[in-house]
Structure 1
C-alpha cells in the first residue's frame, strides 16, 4: 500500500515507507531539522521509516496555521462542523483493514486488536456527531423581559500528546470532540509510532476538514516542552506514564493552560471463591495479555481471596493458550522486553513462584521481533516491585488474602486509580467492592472495565492529573468555556435587583 503522505522514497535506505513528515496547514512538510529517529517494527525488527526530531520552530508554524484557521472554524455552526466527522467515521470504516495493518506494523499488536482499535475510533467519532444535541446551552427568563443564556464556546488552539500503545485510538479520544467543538488542534504522536496519525490526517482532509484545523508535529521532548510553553496554546491533553504526566501537567498549568494528563496504572482484580472459574479465567487472561499488556486498563495484579486455587489453575490453562506471534502481539521494543523480564526475574528471586513463564519468547521467522510470553506469578507480596509498579507487559501477579477487606486494603494502597474489578456471583459483595475501590472505573466480572460512549474514560489518584475525563460527555467541559449572556429589550419593565 502506498501512502501519499510518505513519498519520495530514498532507494538507498532499506525501509518500507518514506521518511515521515509533519502535517501543517493541510500539507505534509519537512521539519526544520534534519535529525531523525528510526521507526522499527516490533513485529520483526524491520525498519519502517524515519521520523523527524522537530523543533519549537516547527511547532510555532503549526500554531500559526491553527490560529489562523480558528477564526473561521470557530464561527462555523456546530451542525456543520460535525458533518466532517460523519464522513470521517465512514472513512475509518472504509479503510479499516489498511489502518489496522499500519497499527499492527508500528505497534506490534495482533491484527484483531488493531481492528478493534480502529472500530473504537469509529465509535468516538460517532459520539462527536451527537455533540450538537449535547451543547445546546440553556436559556431562562429570569425577570420580566430579561433572559440569561449560556453557550459552550471553543477555547482556541489546543494540543494533544499521545502515546505509543494505541497509535490510532488514543488520538481519536481527543480529535473528534475537540475539533467538533470548534477548536483547532496540534497533535504530537509518539515517535515510536508516527505513521498512523499521518494517515488519520489524510482521512480528515478527505472528510472535508479545512486546512489548519488539524496539524501534526513529530518529535520528542523539545516539542512536548514547546507545547506546554507556547502562549497561543490554550489547553493540553496528555496520555502516557505517570512520571511524564506529572511533568506535563506541572509545566502546562504553570503557563496558565488547561491540562488533563492521564498517567499509568496498577489495576487490581479481586477474585472471590464463588467466582465462575471459566469466565473468570478467560476474562483475566484477556485483560492481562490483550495488547501484550501495554494498556493502562490491563489487569496487572490479581488479589485471590480465600480458597481460589481452582480458579488459578484454570487461569494458567487459559494463559497457556496465548501464544506469541499468534494471538499475542509484541511489546514495543527491546528495552521494554528486557525491563519486563527483569521484573519477573526479580520477583522469582524474592520467593514468588512463576506458574507460567513468558521470558525469552521468540517467534519463528520473526526472531528480531520483541515478544514476551504471558506470565503468571503466584505468592507475590505487596512490597515487591512486580506488585507495586506498572509493568506494561503481559504479566499478572497474584497476591493472596483471607478477606475482601484485606484485598481492598492492597488495592487502596496503590498510588494509581484507573481500574479495579471484582469477580463474584454475590451482588452485595460486588457493591461492597464498587463502593470501596479507589479507582475511577470499576468492573464486576469484567476484566477491562472501559466505559463505552457516551460514558467517559478517566481514572483517579495518580492515574489522572486535572479535572474531568478525556472522552464522553465529561470532555465537553474540558474543550470549551462557558459564556453567560444577559439580555433586556423592554425598558418599560423597569429595573429591579434581577435586571
Structure 2
C-alpha cells in the first residue's frame, strides 16, 4: 500500500474510521495498490455534521472580506504544491499528467473567483419612500454537503468548496470512493490556509453515506455530480426532506459538423473532445452529426485519432469494469452495422499491463437508435451519424434526454446562430469542442443533465449557497405615512 489508510476529516482532524468495511484504492495507470478507503458509518457523518453546525455561528458572522483571506492563502498553497497535487490526481484517476495539471489550474481559477465574492454580493439599498429604506443581503444557509465523482478528484470538489465556504456555510464533502486521496490534500491545505476547525469536513463512504446526507435534518443543501440515474435519486431524496438540491447528471454531447468547417481545426477539436480525460467527462463529445458531404473532415478525424496513444497522451479509464463496459458498447455497435474506423478495444500498454486502457475509437454510420448513439459511454469513443440537413442534425440532438453541451463546426455565422438558438443544451460551442464556460460564467446543463435551479459554479452559484434577507427600515416619523410606508 503506497499511501496510508484514508481517513475522515472531522473538526480539523484526520480520524481513522471505526468501520470494519474498506475498499481498495487502485491506480488505473498500472494497477498499483494505493490505499484503502473506509465505508464510514452514519455515526461518523453525524459527528461531522455536529462539528460543522458548531462552527457555523462564528464562521457565518465573520465578515466575508475576512473569510476570503483564507482562500487567498489557499490559492497560494495550490500554486506552491501544484506538481504534487497534479501527480496525485493522475495517479488515482488515471489521467495524463498534462490533464492533471490542467485540472489544478482550474482549481486555482475557481478559487480566484471565490476571492472576488465580496465584490459580487454587496446587496442593494434603495430609499423606496421618503424616510423608508429597503435593503437586501445574502445570508449563508448553514451546514451544506457536496457529493463528488471520480473523474475530477480535485476540480469538482473545488466547484463547490471555495464558493460555499466563502459565502459563510460549513460543509461536509463526500468524495468518490474510487479517488479519495486528493480530498485529503484539499483538507490539509485549507487547514494550513487558516480555515477554522469544523468549517470543512470529509466523510468517506458509498451509498449509505449519500442517503444519510440526503436524510440528515441538519444539512440544508446538497450538491451532487455524477450519473443521471443517481442524480435523480439524490435530487428526489434530498428535496423530499425539504433541502435545496442541485444534482448534475450525465450527458450525450453532440458536435454538428458542416461541410464548410475547417478540416484540420475541426478534426483536432473533435479528437481532443472525445478522448480528453479518456472520455470520462460530462463535456466530452461522444456523438458527431456529419451534415452533408464531410468525408474529407471525417478522414482528418481518423488521422488525428490515430495520433492518440494509450499510456502516452491518452490516460486510463477508471477501472476494469469501465473498460469492459466501454468495449461492449463498441462491439454491439459494430454488430448492428456501425463501421469501426479506429478501434480502441483490447489495448494493453507495455510496462503497464495491469492498467485499464481503452484506445481512441471512431465509429461511422452509426444510427440514432443504437445504444452507442443514445447512452453516455464515458470513454474515448465517438459515434458519427450522417444527415443531409442542419434540421435533421438538430432533430437528433434535440431528441437526446440530456442537455449538457452541443457544438457546431462551421465558418457560416448564420448557420452557427441558427444552431445556437435551437440546440437543447445549456452550454454551446462554435468551433469549440469542449464549451466549458470560464469563471465568472457558470457551469450547468439542461434537461436530464441537471436537476435543480441555478448552476454549480460562477455567479449563479451565489443564489444556491445563500438565501436573500430583505429589511425595510424607517426611523423618521416626521416624514409622515403614505401607501408605501
Q: What TM-score, normalized to structure 2?
A: 1.00
1:91-490 matched pairs, under 5 angstroms? 91-490=77-476
Shift of 1:495: 2.1
Give the 3-state SS of the residue equivalent to 2:220 in structure 1: strand
Gaps in structure 1 of 5+ consecutive residues: 1-14
Classify the secondary structure of the residue corresponding to 1:142. Answer: strand
Alignment partners' CA distance in 1, 2:16 and 2:54: 20
Alignment partner of 1:57 out of 31, 38, 43: 43
SS in 1 for 2:376: coil
Deviations 1:398-419 (CA, angstroms, capped at 9, x unpaired): 0000000000000000000000
Query: What is the distance in 1 between the residues matched to 2:128 and 2:291?
Result: 57
Deviations 1:317-369 (A, max 9, x none): 00000000000000000000000000000000001000000000111000000
Q: Once the 2 structures are TM-superposed, how far is the Cα of residue 34 of structure 1 from its aligned partner?
A: 2.1
The C-alpha deviation readout for 1:241-296, integer Å capped at 9, x for no partner, is 00000000000000000000000000000000000000000000100000000000
Q: Is the 8 A contact 1:32 1:57 kept in 2?
A: no
Q: Deviations over 1:149-198 (max 9, x none)?
A: 00000000000000000000000000000000000000000000000010
Given the alignment of the two structures, is residue 498 of structure 1 paired with residue 454 of structure 2, yes or no? no
Question: Could you tell me how far apart the structure 1 residues matched to 2:81 and 2:416 are?
Answer: 41
1:497 Cα deviation from its structure 2 partner: 1.6
Q: SS at 2:150's partner residue?
A: coil
Pairs aligned (count):
485
In 2, are the aligned partners of 1:269 and 1:299 still within 8 Å (CA)? Answer: yes
2:13 alignment partner in structure 1: 27
- TM-score, normalised to structure 1, is 0.97
**How far apart, CA to CA, are the structure 2 residues paired with 1:243 and 1:368?**
30
Structure 2: runs of 5+ lacking an equivalent: none
* Aligned-residue offset at 1:205: 0.5
Contact 1:301 1:396 in 2 (8 A): yes
8 Å contact 1:441–1:458 — kept in the other structure? yes
Matched, 1:16 2:2: yes
Q: Give 1:492 deviation, angstroms.
A: 1.3
**After the TM superposition, which parts of structure 1 deviate over 6 Å for at least 4 consecutive aligned residues?**
none
Using the TM superposition, give the Cα deviation of residue 142 of structure 1 relative to its aligned residue in structure 2, in angstroms: 0.9
Could you report, residue by residue, the CA deviation over 1:47-77 in whole angstroms, capped at 9, with x for unpaired residues?
Answer: 1000000011111000000000001000000
Contact 1:275 1:423 in 2 (8 A): yes
Partner SS, residue 32 of structure 1: coil
